[in-house]
Amino acid sequence: MPLDELTTRCADQGLPVEVRIARGSDGEDSAAVDLTLHTESTMTPPEPPPLGAGYAGLTPAQRKAFLAWVAKPDRETPPAYQQLYVANLEPALLESPSKRTVALSHMRELIVAPAWQGNPWLGRAYALGCRLAHDGDALAAALGQDGLPVALLGVGLGLQALLQTPLTAAELGAAQRAWRQGEPPSDELLKLRLVSLTANLGAEPLAYALSQVGEAAVQPRPWRTAHPNLRLALPQPDLRPALEPLLREMNQVADVVPDAKTEFDPPTDDDEPANRGWQLILEFGHSRSENFDYLLGLCRRLPGFSQIMDQDRRLVYRVAFRRSEMRRFWRIWDYVQGWSTTRVFVNGDELEKWKVWPYSQYMS
């Protein structure tokens, strides 16, 4: 389809993009493959063309090499040929749903081919196609399998959030690798961490991150395509700034199996006498207080800190104090005493908040 017809087609389909057609000096589509142009066989492979070269700009020998490779595009080839190939696939994403489906299916096959691994043009085209097809599950699957370039992960998750498709455990692992937070744990532990993250935020993680990036981030912006004459604009929020700190904080604490006893559990009558010294346990959960992040960071630096999941699979933060450490406790208590999730245990017995004050007889 001629590029100048795409604008009308997009408007008819209600696609969330603005299409502008930029013409070359000759007024023609520079990426179009014109089979009437001369080709030429050579004894040795021709020099690779520069990135962005259109088909008409190739030498006859380069055109011959490109057409020979197109017969089996999952093979190795110069990057300029790959870019030109994607440039000819992209317009189909903006045409009819049936053509978009065929193009996406072909892109999905190429994404897993070793020769295309990490190709930025293919990754961007596939993410765009998923967004236009409203297929958040397909986009999530590609992101979770490291099928798209690392640099596209934050924006890809933003497109997924716009499609209201939840974050998956596989994507959590992909983000950990891409953002250099270490090798992710097992699939089961990733699922547990995703549950913990969701409970801690009180919302689905991508929806939460989208709410944090600001209104400007969801306004249409230029979208870079492989096609030299095709200019798109669409919302493309980058969720990395909002998600990366959350994931790093989550990975800093050890995962604890729900209901498992920790070093700082309130003492019980079954404990050995030597381990039953006076101890105060402070517990609190997530709070919307503006001081929450500061307070949690302060507690993490204390030797008696731990993080567990309660029976309802919600994150609970605990800090254990001995008598000699009560100055630290009172400093933290000033922040948390008004939070609904705050609980205090002394030697295994829970105290009501009104009984917690300096020199209280209930804390002896």
Identify which of 5, 85, 99 has the alpha carbon closest to the alpha carbon of residue 49.
85
Amino acid identity of 304? G
Q: How far apart are CA 197 and CA 171, in angstroms?
A: 13
Domain boundaries 273-363, corresponding CATH code: 3.30.70
pLDDT of residue 329: 93
Nearest in space to 141 (alpha carbons), one of 127, 124, 162: 127
Whether the CB-CB separation of 299 and 283 falls below 8 Å is answered with no
Q: So what's the pLDDT on residue 275?
A: 41
Phi, psi of 317 (to 5 degrees): -105, 135
Span 234-271, pLDDT tens digits: 899 999 999 998 888 777 653 433 333 333 344 444 44
Q: What is the pLDDT of residue 270?
A: 42
Q: Which residues contact residue 86 at a Cβ distance below 8 angstroms, ignoring those fewer than 6 apart?
A: 119, 121, 122, 125, 226
Q: Give pLDDT, residue 21.
A: 54
pLDDT of residue 350: 92
The segments of the chain whose pLDDT lies below 50 read 24-27, 254-276
What does pTM read for this prediction?
A: 0.67
Q: What is the pLDDT of residue 291?
A: 85
Rounded to whole angstroms, how far apart are CA atoms 79 and 63? 14
pLDDT of residue 27: 47
Task: Write down the pLDDT at residue 272.
Answer: 40
Q: What is the pLDDT of residue 162?
A: 95
pLDDT of residue 19: 57
Residue 65: what pLDDT? 95
Residue 89: which residues within 8 A CB-CB, separation 6 or more?
Answer: 103, 106, 107, 125
Cα–Cα distances in angstroms (integers) from residue 312 to residues 308, 309, 316, 363, in the given order: 11, 8, 10, 29
Q: What is the pLDDT of residue 2?
A: 55
pLDDT recorded at residue 322: 92
Residue 292: strand, helix, or coil: helix
**347: phi then psi, degrees, rounded to nearest 5:** 55, 40
Break the chain into its structural domains and give their ranges.
3-251, 273-363
